Amino acid sequence: MSSDQSGAIAGTAVPSPGLNAAAGDAAENFVQIVDIVKKFGETAAVKGVNLSVKKGELFALLGSSGCGKSTLLRMLAGLESITSGKILIDGEDLAQLPPYRRPVNMMFQSYALFPHMTVEANVAFGLKQEGVPKSELKDRVQTALDLVQMGRFAKRKPHQLSGGQQQRVALARSLVKRPKLLLLDEPMSALDKQIRQRTQIELVNILDKVGVTCMMVTHDQEEAMTMADRLAVMSEGEIVQLGTPHEVYEYPNSRFSAEFIGSTNLFDGNVVEDEPDHVFIETPDLPVRLYVSHGITGPLGMPVTISVRPERIALTRKPPEGAYNWGKGVVTNIAYMGGYSLYHVKLDAGKTVIANVTSLALTEIDPPTWGDEVYVRWSASAGVVLTS
């Protein structure tokens, strides 16, 4: 905002940012996505997204199929035109750069390795096109392959490699070009579930070592939670919530976000008392009020939804003593998961609550079984008030 647009701050001394501040800002806003819109005909696949990615960060776009993740990534890669808005990488407007000068590299879902070329030749391909001298090329290819622990497989062809190895070659091929921004579209989707988890950790370690800024797309919330420094939950072409995995999980800002990341129990009700340090909510689902230990802003009577994660809910056989945050019901289902069990409890008012009970906690209460009458309860810090 310039001071002539705002009488309120006219005359206020604004310290001019020193060099360090400018460098800090450049690192904070290494990738800047400003009001980006993408329309295919009349339908908008991306509807005005604003987003900054920090230097060296692994940022994930998370959302269900068709929400516009790949389209956004493809605009960053320069593979899709931008309907409106702009993208800056390290201060440079992408629109001003011809495709071959864009400091971006994309690793595709299918890896897109050339089947007739060796691993080595696949990794060297992009550098050759850039005209990198032979001596340098050899070193860089070797370094990239060693980084992904594929040095031993340099002479193999892609079909002689496992899915995980192919992915590492594709990664080496992207990294060897030393992009400022690496783009990964569903990088694990071609892998079996078993090796996926191990690969997620490996990939994070490699990206950390290289220090490259990375933006990945996934529909798998566990993958985004495991890998990303920060993530954006997307729905229908828009960002619903942005934060660290911890922030988004513990403090969802909407029903959509709460249900999309992890599973949760939602109670609808109305605010009956709102103080700075707590709020009381009346809900038809429970015989007592809901008590949440933080305030919200809004009028009394306002309809809200309270989200309580299953692992925050305790199961007891005896009625809880407190006057808040409990319900009585009957066990209708138990999913044994090994280290914990998911108890489905149908409350007297009809709502089913899911409690995640650890095996340890179960040994302490004489494990309830199907049809048993039980109580569910949780603390005032367990609930999150959602207003949308």
Ligand X SMILES: Nc1ncnc2c1ncn2[C@@H]1O[C@H](COP(=O)(O)OP(=O)(O)O)[C@@H](O)[C@H]1O
Nearest distance from C-beta of residue 255 to ligand X, angstroms: 20
If the CB atoms of residues 148 and 261 are measured against ligand X, the closer one turns out to be: 261
> Which tokens in the block code for residue 100?
């071959």
Q: Is 26 helix (H, G, I), strand (E, B) or coil?
A: helix
Nearest distance from C-beta of residue 268 to ligand X, angstroms: 29
Report the partner that residue 33 touches, choosing among ligand X, Mg ion, none (CB closer than 5 to 8 A by kind).
Answer: none
Nearest distance from C-beta of residue 63 to ligand X, angstroms: 6
Cα–Cα distance for residue pair 28/245, rounded to 1 Å: 18
In the region spanning residues 41 to 60, those forming contacts with ligand X, defined by CB under 6 A, are: 45
Nearest distance from C-beta of residue 260 to Mg ion, angstroms: 16
Residue type, 59: F
Report the partner that residue 45 touches, choosing among ligand X, Mg ion, none (CB closer than 5 to 8 A by kind).
Answer: ligand X
Cα–Cα distance for residue pair 386/388, rounded to 1 Å: 6
Cα–Cα distance for residue pair 187/175, rounded to 1 Å: 14
> Which tokens in the block code for residue 89?
């990488």
Sign of CA dihedral 66, 68, 69, 72: positive
Report the partner that residue 68 touches, choosing among Mg ion, ligand X, none (CB closer than 5 to 8 A by kind).
Answer: ligand X
If the CB atoms of residues 218 and 341 are measured against ligand X, the closer one turns out to be: 218
If the CB atoms of residues 219 and 344 are measured against ligand X, the closer one turns out to be: 219
Nearest distance from C-beta of residue 221 to ligand X, angstroms: 14
Number of residues binding to ligand X, judged by CB under 6 A: 10
Nearest distance from C-beta of residue 186 to ligand X, angstroms: 8
Q: Which residue is nearest to Mg ion (CB)?
A: 70
Cα–Cα distance for residue pair 175/150, rounded to 1 Å: 13
Report the partner that residue 252 touches, choosing among ligand X, Mg ion, none (CB closer than 5 to 8 A by kind).
Answer: none
Helix/strand/coil percentages in the chain, nearest 5: 30, 30, 35
**Backbone phi, psi, residue 174, to 5°:** -75, -45
Please list, in sequence order, all residues whose beta carbon lies within 8 angstroms of the beta carbon of residue 141, skipping any fewer than 6 positions away: 120, 123, 124, 127, 154, 172, 176
Contact (Cβ atoms closer than 8 angstroms) between residue 86 and residue 93: yes
| Residue ranges in contact with Mg ion by CB under 5 A | 70
Q: Is 295 helix (H, G, I), strand (E, B) or coil?
A: coil
Cα–Cα distance for residue pair 55/21, rounded to 1 Å: 15
Cα–Cα distance for residue pair 23/28, rounded to 1 Å: 9
Nearest distance from C-beta of residue 97 to ligand X, angstroms: 22
Nearest distance from C-beta of residue 325 to ligand X, angstroms: 37
If the CB atoms of residues 50 and 293 are measured against ligand X, the closer one turns out to be: 50
Report the partner that residue 114 touches, choosing among ligand X, Mg ion, none (CB closer than 5 to 8 A by kind).
Answer: none
- Residue 218 in the binding site for ligand X (CB under 6 A): no
If the CB atoms of residues 233 and 385 are measured against ligand X, the closer one turns out to be: 233
If the CB atoms of residues 167 and 325 are measured against Mg ion, the closer one turns out to be: 167
Report the partner that residue 356 touches, choosing among ligand X, Mg ion, none (CB closer than 5 to 8 A by kind).
Answer: none
Which helix (H) or strand (E) is 344 found in, with range? strand 340-347
Report the partner that residue 40 touches, choosing among ligand X, Mg ion, none (CB closer than 5 to 8 A by kind).
Answer: ligand X
Nearest distance from C-beta of residue 86 to ligand X, angstroms: 19
Q: How far from 129 is each of 16, 64, 126, 242, CA to CA, in Å?
A: 44, 36, 5, 38
In the region spanning residues 61 to 120, those forming contacts with ligand X, defined by CB under 6 A, are: 63, 65-71
- For residue 105, list its beta bridge partners: 182
If the CB atoms of residues 197 and 235 are measured against ligand X, the closer one turns out to be: 235
Site string for ligand X, 21-40 (x = CB under 6 A): -------------------x
Q: Is 335 helix (H, G, I), strand (E, B) or coil?
A: strand
Dihedral of the CA atoms 330, 335, 341, 342 (nearest 10)?
-60
- Which residues contact ligand X by CB under 6 A? 40, 45, 63, 65-71
